[in-house]
Amino acid sequence: MAFLADALSRVKPSATIAVSQKARDLKAAGRDIIGLGAGEPDFDTPQNIKDAAIDAIRRGETKYPPVAGIAPLREAIAQKFSRENGLDYKPTQTIVATGGKQILYNAFVATLNPGDEVIIPAPYWVSYPEMVALNGGTPVIVDTTQADNFKLRPEALEAAITAKTKWVLLNSPSNPSGAAYSRAEIKALTNVLMRHEHVWILTDDMYEHLLFDGLEFFTPAQVEPGLYDRTLTMNGVSKAYCMTGWRIGYAAGPDKLIKAMEMVQGQQTSGACTIAQWAALEALAGPQDFLPGFRVAFERRRDLVVSMLNQAKGVACPKPEGAFYVYPSCAEAIGRTAPSGKVIATDEDFVSELLEAEGVAVVHGSAFGLGPNFRISYAAADEKLEEACRRIQRFCGELR
């Protein structure tokens, strides 16, 4: 009898975590490495948020929290959805978890049966299909194209829906492409979903506050209120508020789903860290005046990276609308020979040789379900990004 569960044979390790770890290992060995693999803002958590956590410790807020989150934070989450998204949720329709990843995982644990299908547009965040597979579901990958700015088209969504479809997973702005859907583009998708009453919508809005060029954010249940009763809207404090290590994600949705997710979480981790929850309360309910400054910095970095990558021989880098990633094509490098003498057969070869030759750690596009591309996180200092792009230009120029 096998010791390990069969489910593990259906999943792969996280490529983004693997790249970050390899960069750390090479740095520890003395290599000059620029790591652009992790989706983590380089800014520190704002001081008022850190102070709120310290105050919570001093008040003795160190006991077990309620499974679904402390009451003031759930109230603040409901107010946030009302204020920023025009969505009316009661605090009891919200849930707090240990990061956005746990929100998604709990939703799948609570709803997926063997054979249930989850539609996932590619390129996708690496964990989406793995979480579906671990919970007995079937990921249905729908490719997008660079010509469509990596956005799911309504006719492709329509074609992918079957009687077994349980969820459609949407992420805007997107990790890894940075693509962001306009209101009209979301409406075209929700028009399709209104015709299929058995399909639920799981929307990952983690990068909501990182939209550029004056674009406005929209979320599906806001655009189409008719989908309110079958939409789980997920968000968190990690990206916009530079709180990745605090591990707080949250969501709102129909009562029956939230109750089911709470039951799962109660047998899994129970409530998220109490101190981090009080910090998240300050993030959502406190001053928001630093957000525009963060956004301006990321927009400047986006423009720098896009410009320099498009000067690299054989690289084509579209200009994303949000998040802090670019997803350039390295198709012209396929079949060419790296300085090491290795022939580059895949985008994974490309990023491996780039790391070996120039010490720049990025993630191969095939890990996100669509290549040959690679993802760069430009959540790093300007001078580090400039140096990384110069190294990429040099590497591409030396391919033969």
With 0-12 CB in 10 A as exposed, 13-18 as middle and 19+ as buried, what is 133?
buried
Question: How many structural domains does the chain have?
Answer: 2
Record the tokens describing residue 291, joined without a space. Answer: 């957000």
User: How confident is residue 58, by pLDDT bands cut at 50, 70 and 90?
Assistant: very high
Q: Is residue 141 part of a domain?
A: yes
Q: Which of 255, 285, 315 finishes a domain?
A: 285
Q: What is the pLDDT of residues 304-360, one digit of tens each?
A: 999 999 999 999 999 999 999 999 999 999 999 999 999 999 999 999 999 999 999
Q: What is the pLDDT of residues 67-124, one digit of tens each?
A: 999 999 999 999 999 999 999 999 999 999 999 999 999 999 999 999 999 999 999 9
Q: Which of 264, 285, 306 finishes a domain?
A: 285
Q: Which of 285, 319, 351 finishes a domain?
A: 285
Record the tokens describing residue 319, joined without a space. Answer: 């200009």
Domain co-membership, 116 together with 159: yes
Domain co-membership, 188 together with 311: no
Q: Is residue 186 part of a domain?
A: yes
Q: Is residue 1 part of a domain?
A: no
Give residue 230's pLDDT.
Answer: 98
Record the tokens describing residue 165, joined without a space. Answer: 């479809």
Q: Is residue 327 part of a domain?
A: yes
Whether 39 has a pLDDT exceeding 90, the answer reads: no
Q: What is the pLDDT of residues 195-216, one digit of tens each?
A: 999 999 999 999 999 999 999 9
Domain co-membership, 115 together with 133: yes
CATH number of the domain that residue 360 is part of = 3.90.1150.10
User: By residue range, what is the domain housing residue 74?
Assistant: 47-285
Interatomic CA distance for residues 283 and 211, integer angstroms: 19
List the one residue out of 305, 323, 326, 279 whose CA is nearest residue 389. 305
List the one residue out of 40, 115, 101, 382 whose CA is nearest residue 250. 101
Domain co-membership, 263 together with 334: no
Give residue 68's pLDDT.
Answer: 98
CATH number of the domain that residue 226 is part of = 3.40.640.10
Domain co-membership, 226 together with 270: yes
Domain co-membership, 218 together with 177: yes
User: How confident is residue 14, by pLDDT bands cut at 50, 70 and 90?
Assistant: confident
Domain co-membership, 59 together with 115: yes
User: How confident is residue 29, by pLDDT bands cut at 50, 70 and 90?
Assistant: confident
Whether 376 has a pLDDT exceeding 90, the answer reads: yes
Domain co-membership, 37 together with 51: no
Domain co-membership, 216 together with 67: yes
Mean pLDDT of 40-66: 97
Domain co-membership, 147 together with 161: yes
Between residues 139 and 17, which one has the greater pLDDT? 139
Residue 334 main-chain phi, psi, to 5 deg: -65, 130
Give residue 23's pLDDT.
Answer: 81
* Whole-number average pLDDT of the chain: 96
Give residue 267's pLDDT.
Answer: 97
Domain co-membership, 194 together with 308: no
Give residue 292's pLDDT.
Answer: 96
pTM of the model: 0.95
Domain co-membership, 348 together with 369: yes
Q: Is residue 273 part of a domain?
A: yes
Q: Is residue 106 part of a domain?
A: yes
276-310 b/e (C-beta count within 10 Å ≥ 16 → b): bbbbbbbbbbbeeebeeebbebbbebbeebbebbe
Q: Range with the lowest mean pLDDT among 6-20, 248-262, 346-360, 378-392? A: 6-20
